[in-house]
Amino acid sequence: MRKKSYFAAILLAITLTGCSGQTAQPTQEVMPQNVPSDITAAQTAAETETEAMTEAVTEAAVSASAGTEAAAPAVSGTSASSAEETPEELLGRLYLVKAEEEALDVEEDLLEADVRTGKLTREEFLQKEMELEQKEDALDLSEDEIELALKKQFWTSGSLLPEDFAASLESMELEELLNLLRENELEEDKNELEEDRLKMQYLNGEITREAFLTAQAELERASDLLEAKEDMIEYRLKLLGWDD
């Protein structure tokens, strides 16, 4: 149910481009009249692919709306509204969607516990399980829509990193980078433990659903940031001959 974020995967290339003095501009480029045909064809293909992605997400949302219209009201949105949102607003919605997905995981565990203890009949369990699956489908559509909107705005998770993070790595020796990598891995472990603790609190009824979503969304963002740092550190290490 939960999908991996694509942001950390493309962070490295985007950040390195920024370090070399080239900044991606979210504006239309004016190409010379003598542009080679293969470049023009590639650009046309890319535009066609983006249009196809938009159409696919829209069609999927329409076909699923009958059964999932009220599935996730806290994170619902249309393509039109997404186009008007800033990257930070879109990112906030994206992490809330991911938190909703984690909440559904816990709620599915609760259903299974209820049917084992006799609180739910088998028929009631199957009905509620189907409702959860419909909500999962709605969240998947929301996640696709938000990620597409971010892609159209040329936004990546590179902005999660401190502005001087990549530059600060350039002056570090091998041992310093290895220490930094180990520290980052410890932070990742702590973040995962906190996620497990939060899920257990929600499972045991110690916190409300709203409190779970707020805390989980923050942990999702922290996870992406730590993953982005790890990728950048490992790249610098490999430049120095390190092989994991």
pLDDT for 40-87, tens place per residue? Answer: 444 445 455 545 554 554 454 444 444 444 444 445 444 556 668 888
Contact by Cβ (8 Å): 55, 111:
no
Decide if pLDDT at 146 tops 90.
yes
CA-nearest of 69, 71, 93 to 81 is 93
Going from the C-alpha of 112 to that of each of 100, 170, 203, 213, the distances in angstroms are 19, 51, 12, 21
**Largest pairwise CA distance in the chain:** 74
Type of residue found at 215: A
Annotated domain spans of the chain: 60-65+72-155, 157-244
CA-nearest of 206, 234, 241 to 16 is 234
Going from the C-alpha of 97 to that of each of 161, 191, 194, 227, the distances in angstroms are 22, 18, 19, 19
Token duo for residue 91: 């990112």
Return d(Cα 48, Cα 42) in angstroms, integer. 10
First CA to last CA across the chain, in angstroms?
31
Q: What percent of the chain has pLDDT over 90?
A: 55
DSSP secondary structure letters along 27-40? S-----TT--HHHH
pLDDT, tens digit, 9 for 90 and up, residues 165-209: 999 999 999 999 999 999 999 999 999 999 999 999 999 999 999
Decide if pLDDT at 239 tops 60.
yes
Average pLDDT along the chain: 77
pLDDT for res 79: 53
Q: What percent of the chain has pLDDT over 70?
A: 65
Whole-prediction pTM value? Answer: 0.66
CA-nearest of 104, 98, 156 to 129 is 104
- Helix ranges (H only) for the chain are 7-19, 37-68, 79-84, 87-116, 122-152, 165-170, 174-203, 209-239
Using a 10 angstrom Cβ sphere, with 0-12 exposed, 13-18 middle and 19 or more buried, the burial of residue 142 is buried
Using a 10 angstrom Cβ sphere, with 0-12 exposed, 13-18 middle and 19 or more buried, the burial of residue 7 is buried
Return d(Cα 48, Cα 212) in angstroms, integer. 40
Place of tokens 């963002």: 221
